[in-house]
């Protein structure tokens, strides 16, 4: 299970710094109570304030873009209504810049820009 370290924790005799994403066994969850954030049974479990809920959600859901999109819309205002439209405009501009600056294909530039702006889960929503 992928978790986010809210504080420095020790896993298998190794120190894991705060802000790291790691995999642990679900049976080990109680050992890290209050020190990690994770998703279990479709529920985001964050025991205290985090600096960037957006980054936390993206990091925990990299393998499930459908869940990522659902959680971003539910928990982050910047992925709702006009805000998402503003993000998509910023994404278009960033993708064009990457395409010109790095001399990559439009598709590669769009994916890189989406990754930078946490919009990978929303790429299918855009209107070409």
Report pLDDT digits (tens) over 104-122: 999 999 999 999 999 999 9
Name the pLDDT band for 81 (thresholds 50, 70, 90).
Answer: confident
Confidence of residue 123 (pLDDT cuts 50, 70, 90): confident
**What's the confidence (pLDDT) of residue 75?**
93
DSSP string, 75-106: H-GGGSHHHHHHHHHHHHHHHHHHHHHHT--H
Domain residue ranges in the chain: 2-76, 79-125
Give the percent of the chain with pLDDT over 90.
86
Higher pLDDT: 124 or 91? It is: 91
pLDDT tens digits along 8-52: 999 989 999 999 999 999 999 999 999 999 999 999 999 988 989
| CA dist list (Å): 23 to 17, 28, 76, 115 | 14, 10, 24, 22
């Amino acid at each position: 299970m992928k978790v986010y370290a809210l504080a420095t924790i020790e896993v298998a005799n190794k120190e894991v710094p705060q802000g790291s994403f790691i995999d642990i066994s679900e049976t080990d969850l109680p050992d890290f109570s209050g020190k990690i954030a994770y998703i279990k049974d479709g529920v985001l479990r964050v025991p205290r304030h985090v600096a960037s809920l957006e980054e936390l959600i993206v990091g925990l859901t990299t393998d499930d873009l459908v869940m990522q999109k659902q959680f971003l819309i539910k928990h982050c205002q910047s992925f709702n209504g006009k805000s998402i439209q503003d993000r998509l405009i910023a994404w278009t501009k960033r993708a064009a810049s990457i395409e010109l600056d790095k001399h990559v294909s439009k598709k590669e530039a769009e994916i890189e820009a989406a990754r930078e702006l946490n919009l990978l889960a929303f790429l299918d929503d855009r209107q070409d």
